[in-house]
Amino acid sequence: MDLYGIGYSNIRLPNDSQSYIYTYNSYVNTFPEEVFVHEFLHSLERILQERNYEIPELHSYEKYGYKEQRLIGLKNWYKDYMNCNIKTNDGTLVGLNDIVYTLTPPAGSDFKYSAENDFNKEPKNIIEEALNMIKVVLRLFGIK
């Protein structure tokens, strides 16, 4: 997921006891942890792409013969993607390069115009949203 074009993965679950997200139900959920794995893999994919490694796109599973399966979703694709164990037509194996597991994740100082966001307080209306955006812009210019 992308937040204001800065490449931030954010997963938010509703705080609702009626939500099926918190329980496993084979008729509703398939591999319920999948969204976390998926977004984490996007961050690893991005790290390698920024370093010019050639890897399959995370969403290209069908191109390599993988299908979403009942109960486990794309678990096999994600496992092979992480282990660089995806077979191509010519028999070579592709996936995430091992080096991605040794690289340091980016820090705020790595971004030219980094800004801290308050994710605990979400705007309740358009006015609060606009005020939050103004605060972010002001912080970029060193105004508090």
pLDDT digits (tens, 9 = 90+) for 86-136: 999 999 999 999 999 888 766 656 655 555 666 566 777 888 888 888 887
Split at pLDDT 50, 70, 90, the class of 19 is low
The reported pTM is 0.59
Q: Report the percentage of the chain scoring pLDDT > 90.
A: 30
* Residue 3 clears pLDDT 50, i.e. is over it: no
> Read out DSSP for 62-126?
GGGT---BTTTBTHHHHHHHHTT-EE-TTS-EES--GGGGTSPPP-GGGSTT-----TTS--SSH
- Each domain of the chain, given as residue ranges in start order, spans 1-106, 111-144
Question: CA 139, CA 144: separation in Å to the nearest integer?
Answer: 6
Q: How confident is the model at residue 54 (pLDDT cuts 50, 70, 90)?
A: very high
Residues 135 and 4: their CA atoms lie apart, in Å, by 14
What pLDDT is attached to residue 17?
59
